[in-house]
Amino acid sequence: MKKIPLLLLALSSILLSRSDVEILGLRVYGNGDEYRPPIIGRSEVISIDFDVTTTHPPNLQIIFKHASKDWVVDDNLFVNEPSKVMTDYLAYAAAPNAVYHYTYSYRNSFPNKRNRVEFVFSGNYKFYIIDHDENDQVLAEGKFIVTEEIVTTSMSIANKYYTESGSPLNQVNFITVNVGAPNEYNVNEPNSIYHSDIKTVDIIQNWRITLPYRIDLDDRSPETFVDDFMKPNKKFWIRNVPTANEYRRLNLSNATTYPNHKLATLIDGPDLSRFQWQGKPDANGASKLKPFVGANSDYIEVELRLRLAGRIINHDWLTLEGNDWRTVNRYTALIYYRDRRYGGFDRVVGVVRGRSPGGDEGKSITFPEQTIVNPRPIPMPR
């Protein structure tokens, strides 16, 4: 009789220790380059980094799922073939000495030779980090995009005034994406496409892959347009992309000023609104970690403070941070295609990358071709 409670206590201790697995610092980026957003080509890899807090290395795996352009997972075994969506092995290393917040660090890129994972189709992907010993409990999740280059794509970005807004919110990027698709469809060619099923272009600003500026044939926005839709060569354009401001940057690398295990309070005082104050150039939303050694690899808790001149009434990002043509943003245009096979799913059949021109009114730049400068104002289309 006395052994039963002891056995139950032992079992509950094991379960509690397994449920304590915590994911920290999940980062996703393209092709091993921390400055690249998680948008890769078919021949590239997606890099996934994270840390865990647990006494012993947990039995973690990652499941990858193809999704629609709106990030809804495809419930389709042909698109998400079970043998190609789950990892067999994840590489990890013990945390460096003097690190307090985690015990193991995982750094992996996919596809790789140790796993059967394969991104069979281009498009949006969601992934889930699971604890295989805890009934595949989901511990964390993330997103990335795989692209193809079946259609020819170019993009031009221009600085123009948006007359519906007052200064400085009227300084916008006018973005045009040209798409050249094949004239004919060949049923015997897997990469052949119906050009009429290209209806959507998403424009990603910096790393904001879940908040694109969308141009869709079926939308009702007065700011987006699709020209020559019934022809193989189409033009998608949008006329009100805010330039915003450069990102705020914070350097916490000085261990004397910001020691480990202590709450970091910024020595320069609270942040202020930057509505009329242009920030310095930045990494367009990216961040790069220092080498995985020593106490500098630990986490720091930071207290962030913001001081405004008046009451907060309907504040948004632009009224807080400002909007200026001098801001340089990175843009990625994705060409979505609705593939009719297997009940229908979304692919990304074209991609083009570029940046805003910076400077003042009239400047424009075209990718992947050449820089064009127009010094005279360009009237907004009606």
pLDDT given at position 89: 95
143 and 27 inside one domain: yes
84 and 68 inside one domain: yes
Report whether pLDDT(374) > 50: no
92 and 131 inside one domain: yes
Is 53 a member of any domain? yes
Is 11 a member of any domain? no
Domain range for residue 91? 19-147
Query: How far separated are the first and last CA of the chain, in Å rounded?
Result: 85
102 and 25 inside one domain: yes
d(CA 73, CA 208): 19
From the list 36, 93, 91, 24, the residue with the least C-alpha distance to 60 is 91
Is 254 a member of any domain? yes
d(CA 333, CA 331): 7
DSSP 3-state of 155: strand
29 and 142 inside one domain: yes
Core vs surface per residue 177-189: b (16+ CB within 10 A) or e: bbbebbeeeeeee
Is 12 a member of any domain? no
345 and 283 inside one domain: no
pLDDT given at position 253: 80
239 and 196 inside one domain: yes
Whether the upstream peptide bond of residue 291 has omega within 30° of 0, thus cis, is no
Report whether pLDDT(101) > 70: yes
Report whether pLDDT(166) > 50: yes
What CATH number did the domain enclosing 73 receive? Answer: 2.60.40
272 and 189 inside one domain: no
Question: Tokens at residue 313, please?
Answer: 């009434």
d(CA 61, CA 136): 8
Element (H, E) at 50: strand 46-53
Overall number of domains in the chain: 3
- Percent of the chain residues past pLDDT 90, beyond the cut: 72
Question: Tokens at residue 44, please?
Answer: 């590239």
Segment 139-152 shows an average pLDDT of: 97
Band of the pLDDT at 312, cuts 50, 70, 90? low
Report whether pLDDT(9) > 70: no
**Where among 115, 130, 147 does a domain terminate?**
147
Core vs surface per residue 67-93: b (16+ CB within 10 A) or e: bebeeeebeeeebbeeeebbbeebebe
**Where among 147, 167, 202 does a domain terminate?**
147
DSSP 3-state of 313: coil
Segment 16-40 shows an average pLDDT of: 87
215 and 296 inside one domain: no
Is 363 a member of any domain? yes
94 and 26 inside one domain: yes
d(CA 316, CA 318): 6
138 and 193 inside one domain: no
How wide is the angle at C-alpha 141 spanned by C-alphas 42 and 85, nearest 5°?
45
Calculate the average pLDDT of the chain.
88
**Where among 119, 147, 175 does a domain terminate?**
147
pLDDT tens digits along 193-246:
999 999 999 999 999 999 999 999 999 999 999 999 999 999 999 999 999 999
Is 229 a member of any domain? yes
Q: Which of 84-98, 299-313, 345-359 has the lowest mean pLDDT?
A: 299-313
236 and 369 inside one domain: yes
Quick count: other Cβ atoms within 10 Å of Cβ 25?
Answer: 14
Question: Tokens at residue 296, please?
Answer: 């500098």
Q: Which of 43-47, 282-286, 311-315, 354-358 has the lowest mean pLDDT?
A: 311-315
Is 59 a member of any domain? yes
Is 360 a member of any domain? yes
pLDDT tens digits along 243-257:
999 999 888 888 888
Report whether pLDDT(335) > 50: yes
Report whether pLDDT(55) > 60: yes
pLDDT given at position 191: 82
